Amino acid sequence: MPAPYRSDYEAARVQKHGNDVNDILKNATVGIAGLGGLGSNIAMMLSRAGVGKLVIADHDTVDISNMTRQNYYYRHLGMKKTDATAELISFMDPNIEVEKHFMKLDPDNLENIFKKCDIVCEALDDPTEKAMLINNLLIKCPDVVVVSGSGMAGYGKSNDIRTEHAMKRLYVCGDGIDMEFWNSVMMSPRVNICAGHMANTVIAVLMNKKV
């Protein structure tokens, strides 16, 4: 079956969201740093919502261990996560623009990658890299809002995951509990709850609504 026309996607989203919301989302550019449990799921959520352009960055490939909580399938094993994510988005809506960066983010390259984004989702695993990304984005990209994810390990206690407006241009989603408390147990339900918080925060900020 051929893919629907762009106008069909547009009409479906207008029917669900209204013209004003649809126009804002389709003209937005959102960056996603890291395409693991948080980032791979955020990418699909924002694509389904109708965000017009995603700038995605990761330096990893899909591994069998990723199947437990990341938005990939066995056919993606060995693929770059940037390529696998872009493919899944194209299966859902080929009209979404995806800019891919297969590289490790550092203070020297992240400004050039994300400077044209309205919002960047920080979805990295390593605490040191998370801090590096957030600090450099806030300093080097003064027009970019950062949505960060932290503390979503374990199981149960879904309502402990929340969104905090930490600084003027920084939102933090998670439960604030160190992963070592859960002995590094990472399961799909809580990871997806946090990813949902982050995607929802992105949309709320784009719509200029209080989070």
What is the predicted pLDDT for the residue at 178? 57
* C-alpha to C-alpha distance for 109 and 136, rounded to whole angstroms: 10
Residue 211 inside a domain? The answer is no
Residue 156 inside a domain? The answer is yes
Residue 122 inside a domain? The answer is yes
Residue 1 inside a domain? The answer is no
pLDDT band, residue 211 (cuts 50/70/90): low
pLDDT band, residue 71 (cuts 50/70/90): very high
What CATH number did the domain enclosing 51 receive? 3.40.50.720
Residue 18 inside a domain? The answer is yes
Residue 152 inside a domain? The answer is yes
Residue 73 inside a domain? The answer is yes
Looking at beta carbons, which pairs linking 79-86 to residues 24 or more positions away fall under 8 Å?
81/35, 81/36, 81/40, 82/35, 82/56, 82/57, 82/58, 84/35, 85/35, 85/39, 85/40, 85/43, 85/56, 86/56
pLDDT band, residue 184 (cuts 50/70/90): low
**What's the number of domains the chain is made of?**
1
Per-residue pLDDT tens digits for 90-131: 999 999 999 999 999 999 999 999 999 999 999 998 999 999
Q: Structural domain of residue 177, as residue ranges? A: 6-206
